[in-house]
Amino acid sequence: HALHIPHDEL
């Protein structure tokens, strides 16, 4: 299962 990591930082 590919876990999608949200990259909400810069």
Partner 1 sequence: MNVFRFLGDLSHLVAIVILLLKIWKTRSCSGISGRSQILFAIVFTTRYLDLFSNFISVYNTSMKIVYITCSYATVYLIYGKFKATYDFNHDTFRIEFLLVPSAILAFLVNHDFSPLEILWTFSIYLESVAILPQLFLVSKTGEAETITSHYLFALGSYRLLYLLNWLWRYFSQGFYDLIALLSGILQTVLYCDFFYLYISKVLKGKKLSLPA
Q: Which of residues 1-10 bind partner 1 (CB under 8 A)?
A: 2-10
CB of 5 to partner 1, least distance (A): 5
CB of 1 to partner 1, least distance (A): 10
Whole-number Å distance between alpha carbons of 7 and 1:
18
Q: At CB < 8 A and 24+ separation, what contacts does 7-10 make?
A: none
The residue count for binding partner 1 (CB under 8 A) is: 9
Q: Which residues are at the interface with partner 1 (CB under 8 A)?
A: 2-10
